[in-house]
């Protein structure tokens, strides 16, 4: 497989560069012009969902046998990065499509895979991942949602919190306690149209406003035994095995946000005249822009390295350390870069005439979801010291 240098100097397979270029064009021409309105109205952009489906972008997380592109983790996260440069909320559609289907791809039965994955690869169905609860975020052991066997069904009761794609997903991967004494959790597929399933409410957020975040409520929801993902009582294996890989989506989103903010800051700096010259000619501004690009390039290199490791079969034992490092590095950098981008634009950076204030608000969540950066540091340290 021949490799070429991407526009940011990282070697990638040549066919990936062609696809990346196409996605970049779609993001620039179709998504970027919609970004401000998506943020302002805080509504899920159904037109962008259709756009991603029409261009087979939803197929990126999936193997060819299920109608996907079969191009793997690196290409998927390059696409997330390109879309996030234009709009982080739209990038989250692709991220959650992976998050909500990877449990099935990694641990689901053949029947579950055949039933759900092709319709997600085409974009016909959207998925969601329902793990967190109000009192069980990083501390999953505090989970209160329960599932009790009843004949050929399981009966699920509980409420989840902070769930992306709430209200627009066609099915949810729900984690529930099935043995309280042994602290055992099981993963289930719960279709959105099952009796007793509802969305209890939606969050009003700082950023990523085009992605609905809400609290799925399950009241005596019955699902058949065939909807169990993996083994009964082994749901934490499903959750951790999924998050080990999907945290790369948050890293890619953060890299995209940072690069988008840099691009806007440089473009503005070339036009803004101060003391008789563009502010990009001022050494103080040059140092600021240089540090922004250095941090983002380093984060991208670590992200791509972790993606390549995730694509190895078998995956290396220390994959989790690299995905955690990539997530921390990229998200912390995105916050630094977007703060500096606002500073470069000065007063214009603080108002929504320019997109950098939105990028600053969007960047913050990348340090929180897919496992907080504090938890990621624990993962890295444990791998180092075990």
Identify the band that residue 1 occupies on the pLDDT scale cut at 50, 70 and 90. low
Identify the band that residue 14 occupies on the pLDDT scale cut at 50, 70 and 90. confident
- pLDDT tens per residue, range 46-65: 999 999 999 999 999 999 99
Q: Which of 81, 82, 133, 370 is catalytic?
A: 370
- From residue 64, how far is each of 2, 60, 245, 352 by CA, in Å? 21, 9, 19, 42
Rounded to 5 degrees, what are φ and ψ at 186?
-125, 145
Proportion of the chain above pLDDT 90, given as a percent: 93
- pLDDT tens per residue, range 78-117: 999 999 999 999 999 999 999 999 999 999 999 999 999 9
- List, in order of start, the domains of the chain with CATH numbers: 3-121 (1.10.540.10), 127-233 (2.40.110.10), 236-385 (1.20.140.10)
C-alpha torsion sign, points 248, 175, 124, 29: negative
Residue 65 is a catalytic residue: no
Cα gap 32→35, rounded to integer Å: 5
């Amino acid at each position: 497989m021949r490799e070429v240098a991407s526009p940011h100097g990282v070697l990638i397979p040549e066919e990936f560069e062609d696809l990346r270029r196409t996605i970049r064009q779609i993001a620039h021409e179709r998504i970027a012009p919609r970004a401000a309105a998506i943020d302002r109205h805080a509504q899920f952009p159904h037109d962008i969902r259709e756009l991603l489906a029409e261009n087979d972008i939803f197929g990126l997380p999936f193997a060819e046998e299920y109608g996907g592109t079969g191009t793997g983790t690196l290409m998927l996260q390059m696409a997330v990065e390109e879309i996030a440069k234009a709009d982080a909320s739209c990038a989250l559609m692709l991220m959650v499509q992976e998050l909500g289907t990877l449990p099935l791809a990694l641990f689901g039965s053949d029947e579950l895979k055949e039933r759900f994955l092709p319709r997600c690869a085409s974009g016909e169905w959207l998925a969601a991942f329902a793990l967190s609860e109000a009192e069980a975020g990083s501390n999953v052991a505090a989970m209160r949602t329960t599932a009790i066997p009843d004949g050929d069904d399981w009966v699920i009761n509980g409420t989840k919190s902070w769930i992306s794609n709430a209200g627009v997903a066609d099915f949810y991967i729900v984690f529930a306690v099935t043995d309280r004494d042994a602290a055992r959790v099981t993963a289930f597929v719960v279709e959105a149209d099952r009796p007793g399933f509802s969305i209890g409410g939606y969050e009003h957020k700082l950023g990523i406003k085009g992605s609905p975040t809400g609290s799925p409520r399950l009241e005596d929801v019955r699902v058949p035994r065939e909807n169990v993902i993996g083994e009964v009582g082994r749901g934490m294996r499903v959750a951790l095995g999924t998050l080990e890989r999907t945290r790369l989506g948050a890293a890619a989103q953060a890299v995209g946000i940072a690069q988008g903010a840099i691009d806007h800051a440089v473009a503005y700096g070339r036009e803004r005249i101060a003391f008789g010259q563009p502010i990009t000619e001022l050494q103080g501004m040059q140092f600021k822009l240089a540090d922004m690009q250095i941090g983002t390039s380093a984060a991208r290199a670590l992200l791509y390295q972790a993606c390549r490791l995730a694509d190895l079969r078998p995956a290396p034992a220390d994959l989790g350390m690299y995905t955690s490092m990539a997530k921390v590095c990229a998200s912390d950098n995105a916050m630094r870069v977007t703060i500096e981008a606002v500073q470069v634009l000065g007063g214009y950076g603080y108002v929504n005439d320019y997109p950098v204030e939105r990028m600053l608000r969007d960047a913050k969540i990348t340090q929180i979801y897919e496992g907080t950066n504090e938890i990621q540091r624990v993962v890295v340290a444990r791998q180092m010291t075990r």
